[in-house]
Amino acid sequence: MSAAPVPQSPDPALSRFLTAHGLAAPGEAAHWTPLAGGVSSDLWRVDLPGRSLCVKRALARLRVAADWEAPVSRNAYEWAWMRFASRHRPDSVPELLAHDPEAGLFAMAYLPAERYPMWKSQLLAGEVEVTTAAALGEMLGALHAASAGDPALAAQFATDDNFHALRIEPYLLATAAAHPGLADILRSLADRTAGTRLALVHGDVSPKNILVGPAGPVLLDAECAWYGDPAFDLAFCVNHLLLKSLVVPGRRAELLRSARALAERYVRQVDWEPRSILETRAASLLPALLLARVDGKSPVEYLTDDRDRLFVRTVAAALLRAPASTVTGVLDAWATALETPTAAGTGHPA
């Protein structure tokens, strides 16, 4: 089954949305450009006379090869998460402009790539600044701390069904089905994650959803927002830095330092539970997410070498069977494995 294509022209309903919310005048010339990178939403840049903005609409069926459906109501939760973040860290999200919850779409400011480059593009190009990861860890921890123990947010973001459809099933349970020998461990992690409700989770803290702005990282794509386990966000992002260390060998040391800096700065913000307990959850979840990006429903596109995928499977399986107690412990195990010359497809030492 192939992934669904990205549309090249907008639904007329999107133009009506702009007019209805006063973002465009009736008959005003608008140039719509589809933005690439998302599998779960239509995303458009809209150029109007003297200004640009971005319109996002959730898809019922995601653009991946596997059969993966999710409720479009997640668009409303993404909007609500971004409103929460804008109250606590205004520079951490784009300016919000208008929302239509029934249509599952909203508009926000367009942030130009020349001033707000995508972190993923920078990392894959070898532009690795440890300070960016550290700033992200601090900001993510601060947002979690601001939401922890808030019963109103817990009620507003009781999005268990969304999170199951977007994260628990395609990442943890699908990977369990692909690895029968690890299935009990992965299902246990899925149950523990689903049953932990401590803070407001973004759910997709991936470099593709992070822009590096003049005032620091800017987070996008919060449609997985859920009041749940904050360790998920920490593990999810560190996971991406580890995977990229396989395909950018010339900057491997900096990527691993970035992962450490992100985790260290994040953990300093943890005041809602003992830091060691959160770290234990993150450290045990991290190898599951590593394995999921190879054998789950949403494998990363840049791991094209079979040896790299085998490396991930081997290291992740070992860490699932004998979990580290800290994120640093996972990073140490990953770095040690990389020191074996033939461990990964690149064959370069760390």
Classify residue 347 by burial, with Cβ atoms within 10 Å: 0-12, 13-18, 19+.
exposed
Buried b (16+ CB within 10 A) or exposed e, 197-236: ebbbbbbbbbbbbbbbeeebbbbbbbbbbbbbbbbbbbbb
Same fold, 12-109 and 119-338: no
pLDDT in tens, 303-331: 999 999 999 999 999 999 999 999 999 99
pLDDT on residue 348: 38
Instruction: Give the C-alpha distances (Å, rounded to integers) separating 324 from 104, 233, 264.
Output: 41, 18, 16
The pLDDT, as a whole number, for residue 73 is: 67
The amino acid at residue 156 is Q
Q: Quote the pLDDT of residue 42.
A: 81
Contacts for 121 with CB less than 8 Å, ≥ 6 apart: none
Nearest to 128, CA basis, from 42, 309, 251, 304: 251
Q: Where are the alpha helices (DSSP H) in the chain?
A: 12-20, 74-88, 119-124, 130-147, 151-156, 160-163, 174-178, 183-194, 231-247, 252-268, 275-295, 306-321, 327-338
Question: What φ, ψ does residue 264 adopt, rounded to 5°?
Answer: -65, -45
Question: Is the model's pLDDT at 92 over the cut of 70?
Answer: yes
Torsion of CA 346, 238, 116, 35, to 10 degrees: 80
pLDDT digits (tens, 9 = 90+) for 141-182: 999 999 999 999 999 999 999 899 889 999 999 999 999 999
**Residue 75's pLDDT band (boundaries 50, 70, 90)?**
confident
- Reported confidence tier of residue 350, pLDDT bands at 50, 70, 90: very low
pLDDT digits (tens, 9 = 90+) for 36-54: 645 567 889 999 999 999 9
Lowest mean pLDDT among 55-59, 141-145, 207-211, 226-230: 55-59
Q: What is the pLDDT averaged over residues 94-116?
A: 92
Average pLDDT across the chain, whole number: 90
Return the pLDDT at 91. Answer: 94
- The pLDDT tens digits for 253-307 are 999 999 999 999 999 999 999 999 999 999 999 999 999 999 999 999 999 999 9
pLDDT band at 342 (very low <50, low <70, confident <90, very high): low
pLDDT at residue number 341: 62
Cβ atoms 84, 137 nearer than 8 A: no
pLDDT at 68: 46
pLDDT at 58: 76
DSSP annotation of 272? S
Asked if 24 contacts 18 with a C-beta cutoff of 8 angstroms, the reply is yes
CATH architecture entry for 119-338: Alpha-Beta Complex (3.90)
Q: What is the pTM of this model?
A: 0.89
Q: Are 297 and 174 in contact (CB under 8 A)?
A: yes
Neighbouring residues of 102: CB distance < 8 A, sequence distance ≥ 6: none
CATH of the domain spanning 12-109: 3.30.200.20
Res 349 pLDDT > 60: no
Higher-confidence position of 74 and 56: 56
**pLDDT exceeding 90 applies to what percent of the chain?**
78
Output helix, strand, coil percentages for the chain, rounded to the nearest 5.
50, 15, 35
Is residue 343's pLDDT more than 90?
A: no
pLDDT at residue number 191: 98
Q: What is the DSSP string of 312-338?
A: HHHHHHHHHHS--SSHHHHHHHHHHHH
pLDDT digits (tens, 9 = 90+) for 125-151: 999 999 999 999 999 999 999 999 999
For the chain, domain boundaries: 12-109, 119-338
Residue predicted with more confidence, 65 or 312: 312
Q: What is the mean pLDDT of residues 214-235?
A: 96
pLDDT tier at 67, thresholds 50, 70, 90:
very low
Q: Which of 317, 313, 159, 301 is nearest to 228 (CA)?
A: 159
For 19-32, write each residue's pLDDT tens digit. 999 999 998 999 99
d(C-alpha 171, C-alpha 164), whole Å:
9
